[in-house]
Structure 1
């Protein structure tokens, strides 16, 4: 193949730039995750409770933070170890209704809920 042919091939990344990554959809809020926005992998069963790398989903960072701000690792492992049960949870459902009104790349700091914060303060 000559130089000119190579230069104009449709599948040549040198002439068309890097491939555009496919859109990733957050399985929790069902909004698109832009390639350069804050995102993270959530272990459906926390690693501390026996989860593995194979049981993860890609989420917006704000969605991931919302889960861990509301629930302990033990509670996530016990009753929230799949996307459907997370969506059905009343507190997460309220968060999802709010975050779905935001742009795809929206991020805000997430604080522990009052009940989680109080539980951490109590001596064991």
Structure 2
């Protein structure tokens, strides 16, 4: 994709985001809760930037959901197997978290620790 096409796609995505905000707050595609303006949120690169995903698409997530992803998975796992929201939602390491967070208020936030299975690899 040329830089010109990338800029056009980015501009189009920005314009669609503005239209979506006019109709209400965006919805986190991971936990299906709305993301109100006062909630902590961030953009998640579906393919990690370190693995070539700089221009391959992002999704707005609650910061809590985004942190949960990076606490459970390595960049390699995300690039290889989990570069779609549906794959993240279906992964057994995310299921318990998603069941827990779905009952929380939309602006809920809590600190996230690295999953034990992931920290064991670092030691």
TM-score, normalised to structure 2's length? Answer: 0.79
Please give the secondary structure, in 1, of the residue aligned with 2:61.
strand
Partner of 1:36: 38
TM-score, normalised to structure 1's length? Answer: 0.78
RMSD over equivalenced CA pairs, Å: 1.5
Q: Which runs of 5+ in 2 are unaligned?
A: 1-20
- Aligned-pair CA distance for 1:33: 0.3
Q: Which runs of 5+ in 1 are unaligned?
A: 1-18
Q: How many residues align?
A: 103
Please give the secondary structure, in 2, of the residue aligned with 1:32.
coil
Q: Is contact 2:47-2:56 (8 Å) kept?
A: no
Name the structure where helix makes up a greater proportion of residues.
2
Higher CA-based Rg: 1
- Aligned-pair CA distance for 1:54: 4.7
Q: Deviations 1:3-53 (Å, cap 9, x if unpaired)?
A: xxxxxxxxxxxxxxxx96731100000000011210000000000000024
Q: Higher RCO, 1 or 2 (CA under 8 Å, sep at least 6)?
A: 2
Which one is further off, 53-62 or 67-76?
A: 53-62
Please give the secondary structure, in 1, of the residue aligned with 2:113.
coil
Partner of 2:9: none
